[in-house]
Amino acid sequence: MPPTDTQQRIQELTTLNALAQALNRAIDLREALDGALAHIVELLGLTSGWIFLKGEGEHYSLAARHNLPPAIAYPGPVWEPGCDCQELCSSGRLDKAVNMVHCSRLRSAVGDKRGLAQHASVRLCSGDEVLGILNVATTQWGRIAPAELQLLSAAGHMLGTAIARALLYDQAKVRRVQEQRALLTLSQDLLLSESLEPALQRLARVGARLLEADACAFIEADEPGGRAVLRAAFGWQLPHDAAWPLTLDPVSPHLWYLPERSADLPLGALSDLPALLARQGFRGHLGLVVELAGAPVGTLMVNTRGPRQFLEDEAQLLGILANLLVQTLERERLHQEALAREKLEQELDLAREIQASFLPNCCPVVPGYQIEAYYRAARQVGGDFYDFIALPPAPGQPQPLGEPHRREVVFRGGRLAAPEMPDLSAAERLGVVIADVTDKGVPAALFMALSRTLLRATAIDGRQPAEVLQRANRLILADSRAGLFVTTFYAVLETRTGVLTFANGGHNYPLRYETATGQIHPLRAQGIVLGIVPEPQFEQLSLQLSPGDVLLLYTDGVTEAMNPERELFGDERLAAVLRANHQRSPQEIINAVLGAVTSFAGGQSQADDITMVVIKRTS
């Protein structure tokens, strides 16, 4: 029993729906056309059909086929290029929704044609563009009902839409691949660029090409100068005699008046455009604020001289370019910081060498004594220092025999000339200084140089320790305006008798190991640090060093070394190390103290300068 009209219509709609679903589900175009063709042939109650796709020029290729008769099986010579329906389509004579064409391939074919002789041909179009031809075959006298012709026309429209969508998708994929390749190349070029300006210019050139725009530019926000500066531009008409970079807006660093996107920039702007920008004649505009570490540093924008509304995916592409720009700016900033750090390191290395020249390059060799010193700054330069000063005889003491102008102070590794200075081997006097500026780094190093010079100049004529500290304090207050001060311990050693006279300007109390009692005695002379009050008083004391006695002078970098539990090394631990190692040489005592401090710190970095002087009387 034949179906009713309603049943027929339901069946046709069901088939069209299945066709639409098949076209929407398919990822591959050829696969979609194969499935759609089978639905169309079934919809019309026919058996065979095929689809051509139009390529470059007027070339057609077989894209899908369904149930072909043996006489025109594919592949085969019957499918050589060219046929009547293709020529009719190219000449515009397939002008109906559905055209009946006697098939030239079936006519020339030899073998079983299953009675097929003609086909209904439908142009597959997207707008006015012909994308291909749909053919469904029938017999010589076969006819297709008007309702079926409408269905075939509808199916042709659906196929045309699907083909156009697939082609656009393929074009989009190709474009994405090209964009990704261009962005990768640009990223590599920016990474390898040794200079910022060429890198920015290349980014502007590639940005204009990727977004198919007439121009691309990066405008930097010069906030200190209160202006917007054109740092890179491609496609702009610029004056040839102007110095680069050009000032775009002399009164506003941020282009707040520009829209994010506009098809007509002058109309979309919130204010009159700057003269240089207005002269470009831009209409289409897409801009993006570039931020570095959360702060706006400029604007990246692309423009066309004709009206154009940029799309969302183009805005996303501009965002990728902006990210590359930010990376380039950040890399340049880090490079400049690295250059500045390298220059600073070089300057600090030179400062360390200069500071080292202020310290004795060796310790004095004095008969009857062993003397060693150690210095290590917490940074490249520091504020600790020590010194040994050859002093003239005390008033009332006889001048040593010999020729005064040839006397020298003997240091290990060489001789330091000291005109009119008695030979220390003749048991005269030796000044010993250890001091600590209350700061670190370069300021402390500069203040250390001043303090050391003033102390030496004050002590060189043989003054008593308390008088030396008083006079040095006055000179430091007169010359220094840095607000720093220095702790100082100064002693005069009578090398023949072992008498040590000393005064202390707020420094750590040196430790004396006394052989006779086996006890550790701090040298407690009262006094304030130098550089604070105008006329301080310093207590001056004396003691007698006996053979075997050891004197340890140090700065607070030793006793204030800290372990992971935030405990200090302290005076008691230092005294214990001295007591345990008093029988050793001064160098071994220094090594023992350093080892104990390092072990106690447990890997903590050195927080303060460390300086030590050890004097041991041997006879």
Residue 309 has pLDDT above 90, yes or no: yes
| pLDDT over 60 (residue 1) | no
Query: Any idea which of 16-20, 152-156, 249-253, 396-400 has the lowest mean pLDDT?
Result: 396-400
Supply the Cα-derived Rg of the chain in whole angstroms. Answer: 48
Q: Where in the chain is the domain with CATH 3.30.450.40?
A: 5-172, 194-335
**Tens digit of pLDDT for each residue in 402-426?**
333 333 333 333 333 333 333 444 4
| 141 SS3 class | coil
Picking from 176, 51, 214, the residue whose alpha carbon sits closest to that of residue 120 is 51
Residues 359-617, CATH architecture: 4-Layer Sandwich (3.60)
513, β-bridge pairs: 520, 550
- Measured from the Cβ of residue 476, the count of other Cβ atoms closer than 10 Å reads 22
Strands 429-437 and 511-514: unpaired
Segment 585-598, tens digit of pLDDT: 999 999 999 999 99
Checking if the pLDDT of 14 tops 80, the result is: no
Measured distance CA(136)–CA(120) in Å, rounded: 5
Residue 421: per-residue pLDDT:
34
* Residue 83 structure tokens: 């046929």
Query: Of all helices (H) and strands (E), which one includes residue 576?
Result: helix 570-581
Q: Which two tokens stand for residue 226?
A: 């209160």
Judge whether 602 and 578 are in contact, CB under 8 Å.
Answer: no
What the block records as the tokens of 307 is 């009206």
Cα distances (Å, whole numbers) of residue 364 to 49, 394, 409, 412: 111, 20, 7, 6
Vertex 304 angle, CA 300 and 308, to 5°: 105
Cα 47 to Cα 74, 135, 296, 350, distances in angstroms: 16, 12, 67, 94
Amino acid at site 31 = E
CA distances from 12 to 4, 50, 67, 155, 619 (A): 12, 20, 21, 11, 124
Helical spans, DSSP H, in 254-297: 265-268, 275-278
Strand bridging mode 499-505 / 511-514: unpaired
Confidence check: pLDDT of 146 > 60: yes
- Domain limits, CATH 3.60.40.10, in the chain: 359-617
Cis, peptide link before residue 536, omega less than 30° from 0: no
pLDDT value at residue 423: 44
pLDDT 10s digits, 268-285: 999 999 999 999 999 999
- Ordered DSSP codes for 452-484: HHHHHHHHTT---HHHHHHHHHHHHHHH--S--
pLDDT of 136 over the 70 cut: yes
Q: Give the whole-angstrom CA distance, residue 423 versus residue 404.
A: 9
Instruction: Please determine, looking at this structure, whether the domain spanning 194-335 carries the CATH number 1.10.3720.10.
Output: no
Q: Are the CB atoms for 541 and 589 separated by under 8 Å?
A: no
Single-letter amino acid code for the residue at 17:
N
Instruction: Please give the average per-residue pLDDT across 129-138, as a whole number.
Output: 91
- The partner residues of 290 in beta bridges, in order of sequence, read 298
CA distance 313 to 321: 13
pLDDT at 184 over 80: no
- pLDDT (0 to 100) of residue 121: 92
C-alpha–C-alpha distance, residues 426 and 203, integer Å: 79
CATH class of 5-172: alpha beta
Whether the predicted pLDDT of 322 surpasses 80: yes
In this model, does residue 582 exceed pLDDT 60? yes
User: For the segment 22-35, what is each residue's pLDDT rounded down to a tens digit?
Assistant: 666 656 778 888 88
pLDDT confidence tier of residue 575, bands split at 50, 70 and 90: very high
Which residue carries 């329906």 as its tokens? Answer: 85
